[in-house]
């Protein structure tokens, strides 16, 4: 079934061989909330706790592609959610770090990663706006929720030749944007994400 989903995604998003293989290997059914199993292979977002969502597989594929993961060793994700994006990344890069502010989502994601043998993913419950300095710098930082302004602390945690990929609010729209340490921004395409929120939910 994962291959069927990967083929659906490939009809809309250009996937490299490693990305396609990752979507074939990671079964989305393990990441959807109870009661939504029949929708696991649909290309639609699904609800999680506290206004969080598991993004559409098309969105996951686009963000993965925009990260340009050739020769990348480490990725930090802000907004773990179900863990599906981190799981896809774990099949492409050596080390994945992911943070969520909702602790119960983190605990569920940890169990999923363990059950699937994804031991190259580190996950913690924290306010993701401040990154994960203990493991910095990262080749890439990915925000899976939209921001209005880039946090300087996050920019300080990406390598000089890396970038941050984030949905950014521009007027009444959101735009997937690459942020570079030298101040450059590269706007890629319109999108729709939930907002980054402050604090931690125990």
| Residue 102: pLDDT over 90 | yes
Label residue 50 by pLDDT band (50, 70, 90): low
| Residue 1: pLDDT over 80 | no
| Residue 18: pLDDT over 90 | yes
| Domain regions of the chain by residue span | 2-191
Distance from C-alpha of 187 to C-alpha of 175, rounded to nearest angstrom: 6
What is the rounded average pLDDT of the residues 178-198? Answer: 94
Label residue 58 by pLDDT band (50, 70, 90): very high
The percent of the chain in helix, strand and coil, each rounded to the nearest 5, is 30, 30, 40
**Residues forming a β-bridge with 71:** none
What is the rounded average pLDDT of the residues 55-60? Answer: 95
pTM, 2 dp = 0.95
Mean of the per-residue pLDDT values of the chain: 95
Catalytic residue among 55, 74, 90, 144: 55
| Known active-site residue 55 | yes
What pLDDT score does 52 carry? Answer: 77
What digits encode the pLDDT tens for the residues 153-179? 999 999 999 999 999 999 999 999 999
The three-class DSSP label of residue 57 is helix
The three-class DSSP label of residue 170 is strand
Distance from C-alpha of 148 to C-alpha of 129, rounded to nearest angstrom: 12
Distance from C-alpha of 16 to C-alpha of 109, rounded to nearest angstrom: 26
For the domain 2-191, what is the CATH code?
Answer: 3.40.50.150
Two tokens, residue 189: 């395409």
Distance from C-alpha of 7 to C-alpha of 3, rounded to nearest angstrom: 6
What digits encode the pLDDT tens for the residues 108-146? 999 999 999 999 999 999 999 999 999 999 999 999 999
Two tokens, residue 51: 């206004």
Contact 47, 53 (CB under 8 A): yes
What pLDDT score does 177 carry? Answer: 98
The three-class DSSP label of residue 49 is coil
Whole-Å CA distances, 117 to 20, 28, 31, 39: 19, 15, 14, 24
Query: Per the omega criterion (within 30 degrees of 0), is the bond before 137 cis?
Result: yes
């Amino acid at each position: 079934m994962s291959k069927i989903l990967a083929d659906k995604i490939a009809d809309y998003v250009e996937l490299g061989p490693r990305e396609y293989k990752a979507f074939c290997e990671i079964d989305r059914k393990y990441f959807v909330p109870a009661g939504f199993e029949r929708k696991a292979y649909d290309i639609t977002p699904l609800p999680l706790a506290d206004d969080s969502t598991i993004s559409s597989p098309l969105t996951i594929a686009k963000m993965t592609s925009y990260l340009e993961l050739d020769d990348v060793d480490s990725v930090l994700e802000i907004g773990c959610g179900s863990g599906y994006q981190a799981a896809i990344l774990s099949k492409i890069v050596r080390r994945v770090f992911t943070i969520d502010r909702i602790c119960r989502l983190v605990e569920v994601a940890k169990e999923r990663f363990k059950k699937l043998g994804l031991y190259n993913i580190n996950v913690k419950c924290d306010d993701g706006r401040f990154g994960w300095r203990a493991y910095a710098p990262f080749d890439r930082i990915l925000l899976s929720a939209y921001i209005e302004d880039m946090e300087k602390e996050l920019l300080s945690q990406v390598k000089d030749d890396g970038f941050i990929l984030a949905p950014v609010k521009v007027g009444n729209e959101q735009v997937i944007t690459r942020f570079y340490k030298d101040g450059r921004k590269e706007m890629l395409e319109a999108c729709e994400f939930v907002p980054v929120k402050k604090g931690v939910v125990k």
